[in-house]
């Protein structure tokens, strides 16, 4: 009898869920309150005047806010779509019912997002091994806990993956892409406070693609738009759909806030209660006191950005690029857990061994079809811009890293971006480093679940 072979996306989903569930069960054995807290609904309203009991009840502020909004419309820093969906599906009458409804929606959204993510990554990376490993890394990120505990990360991640899958599709009619993108972004902008991020990402992506083409082709602006008018027309319409949907989405909530509180920008103003004020805070890059994954979420996108800028310069100028690759990849994979230390050691080793020809590889990007396709990819630049937008917001509003790891690693944009970076990777060292990160993240997720059970800060 011939063995039944499941589709790869189903296999990836099953193994991802089993791995995630295994981490949860290990954490529950370490601290049984983890299991009890996740599967119970303790009334927060009944004890809201006693902070000690509130802490023991263990509801985080976001869950409490969304649960209350599911029962009664309110205008605050949190956005309403998640609560509206819970109200429509479950009609909660009590706080406990609302919390249960939120968790169910989160878990279902998270589960559905896994096969969509795998399919997207397999198309981008062109590698089955990379797609599997990045799916595991995405699924068991310690910040993935936010996708299942009643926060908006689960449903927002699902919407984001659907949006990216539609944008990247070459089989869907462009009109359908525009309409779908508009509707999805409209819902996204009512789910989380991401108006600035979406507008920044769509505008930045369009500008970068046009300027790269301008610099590479050496054409003047008129010739450029004449030669690429159909391509740019698609990108411009797509960006306009995203921007328009974002503005309309926020305007719906802003109007409701104006009706109830007399303040159209009340959600933005309420964020000041979290200590956000306009300024410039470069000192966030200078401290090692932040938690491990907060540092990774700050440094990794910036490191990738500098690397991409160097590659882009080489590509535009049709020149070879020499890269210093130190030996002992597993060692470098381990110290990359503290990126600031990684940078310092890399510079030190480069100054000592930088002329060692064995450690130098030459990359020709001048006529690479893959490179050209990468740098002209809307999804690639959109994902990178979305990740960087949170760093910029942090840099100009808060003097410390505040939930940056949650915004980076609970959503799929960084992981999709990694898929682009690792396109057609065959090098075993890269595969081994990814396997190492799967192990490290499994341990970190167990710790995160234990912290959840003990009502500690998650990120």
Residue range 37-66, pLDDT digits in tens = 888 765 444 445 555 545 555 567 788 889
pLDDT of res. 47: 44
Q: How confident is the model at residue 366 (pLDDT cuts 50, 70, 90)?
A: low
Contact at 8 Å (CB) between 308 and 353?
no
User: Between these two residues, 137 and 369, which has the higher pLDDT value?
Assistant: 137
pLDDT of res. 31: 93
Of 86-90, 258-262, 275-279, 400-404, minimum mean pLDDT range:
275-279
User: Between these two residues, 274 and 453, which has the higher pLDDT value?
Assistant: 453
Taking the C-alpha atoms of residue 387 and residue 273, their distance in angstroms, rounded to an integer, is 24
pLDDT in tens, 211-221: 888 887 777 77
323: β partners: 361
User: Between these two residues, 362 and 370, which has the higher pLDDT value?
Assistant: 370
Taking the C-alpha atoms of residue 166 and residue 115, their distance in angstroms, rounded to an integer, is 15
User: Between these two residues, 53 and 443, which has the higher pLDDT value?
Assistant: 443
Taking the C-alpha atoms of residue 303 and residue 293, their distance in angstroms, rounded to an integer, is 15
Taking the C-alpha atoms of residue 179 and residue 184, their distance in angstroms, rounded to an integer, is 9
Parallel/antiparallel/unpaired status of strands 360-364 and 320-324? antiparallel
Give, for 303, the enclosing helix (H) or strand (E): helix 292-316
């Amino acid at each position: 009898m011939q063995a039944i072979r499941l589709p790869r996306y189903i296999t990836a989903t099953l193994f991802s869920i089993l791995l995630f569930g295994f981490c949860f069960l290990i954490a529950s054995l370490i601290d049984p309150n983890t299991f009890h807290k996740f599967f119970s609904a303790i009334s927060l309203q009944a004890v809201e005047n006693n902070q000690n009991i509130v802490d023991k009840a263990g509801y985080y502020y976001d869950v409490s806010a969304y649960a209350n909004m599911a029962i009664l419309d309110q205008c605050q820093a949190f956005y309403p779509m998640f609560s509206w969906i819970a109200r429509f599906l479950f009609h909660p009458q009590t706080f406990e019912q609302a919390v249960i409804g939120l968790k169910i929606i989160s878990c279902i959204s998270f589960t559905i997002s896994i096969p969509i993510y795998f399919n997207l990554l397999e198309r981008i990376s062109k590698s089955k091994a990379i797609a599997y490993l990045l799916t595991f890394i995405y699924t068991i990120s310690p910040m993935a806990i936010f996708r299942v505990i009643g926060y908006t990360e689960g449903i927002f991640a699902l919407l984001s993956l659907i949006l990216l899958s539609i944008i990247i599709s070459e089989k869907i009619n462009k009109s359908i892409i525009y309409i779908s993108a508009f509707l999805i972004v409209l819902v996204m902008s009512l789910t989380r406070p991401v108006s600035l991020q979406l507008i920044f990402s769509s505008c930045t992506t369009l500008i970068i693609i046009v300027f790269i083409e301008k610099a590479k082709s050496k054409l003047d602006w008129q010739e450029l738009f004449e030669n690429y008018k159909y391509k740019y027309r698609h990108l411009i319409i797509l960006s306009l759909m995203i921007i328009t949907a974002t503005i309309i989405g926020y305007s719906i909530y802003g109007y409701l806030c104006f009706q109830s509180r007399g303040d159209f920008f009340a959600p933005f103003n309420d964020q000041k209660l979290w200590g956000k004020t306009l300024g410039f805070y470069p000192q966030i890059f200078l401290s090692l006191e932040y938690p491990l994954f907060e540092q990774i979420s700050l440094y990794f996108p910036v490191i990738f950005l500098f690397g991409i800028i160097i590659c882009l310069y080489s590509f535009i100028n049709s020149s070879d690029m020499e890269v210093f690759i130190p030996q002992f990849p597993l060692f470098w994979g381990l110290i990359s857990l503290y990126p600031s230390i990684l940078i310092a050691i890399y510079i030190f080793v480069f100054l000592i061994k930088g002329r060692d020809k064995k450690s130098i590889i030459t990359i020709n990007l001048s006529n690479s079809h893959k490179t050209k396709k990468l740098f002209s990819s809307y999804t690639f630049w959109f994902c990178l811009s979305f990740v960087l937008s949170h760093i910029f917001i942090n840099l100009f509003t808060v003097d410390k890293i505040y939930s940056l790891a949650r915004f980076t690693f609970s959503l799929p944009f960084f992981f999709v971006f990694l898929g682009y970076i690792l396109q057609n990777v065959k090098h075993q060292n890269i595969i081994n480093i990814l396997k190492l990160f799967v192990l490290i993240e499994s341990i970190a997720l167990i710790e995160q679940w234990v912290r959840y059970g003990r009502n500690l800060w998650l990120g």
